[in-house]
Amino acid sequence: MFDFFKTKKNYENISSSAFKAMISENPNAVIIDVRTALEFKQGSIPKAINIDLMDVNFSQKITQLAKDKTYLVYCRSGNRSGSACKYMGDNGFEHVYNLSGGIMSY
């Protein structure tokens, strides 16, 4: 039997409260904002780094990151960050978490 519609999800969607808890409990976690530079400048989560999902160099920038760290990823609503998390998981990152609802839920 073929399961064309089943795909392995290699990241976890987490709530705003779980995201905040992970930030405070794991000081070595890397927080990634995948919005545009303009959106990032308008306000971001403290200590976040900006790696724009739509940037032509996105994949190059992501693959330069250490795969053994914990990554907390967000965007405005959770859609772009979900795509970024999937890309990261597909490329060997094991501890990737997407902020459900994005920064709007934070």
Give the residue numbers annotated as catalytic, written as ranges.
Answer: 75
| Residue with tokens 């403290």, as numbered in its chain | 46
Tokens of 61: 């920038």
With CA atoms as reference, report the closest residue to 12 among 91, 80, 100: 100
The answer to whether the beta carbons of residues 49 and 31 sit under 8 Å apart is: yes
Beta bridge partners of 13: 98
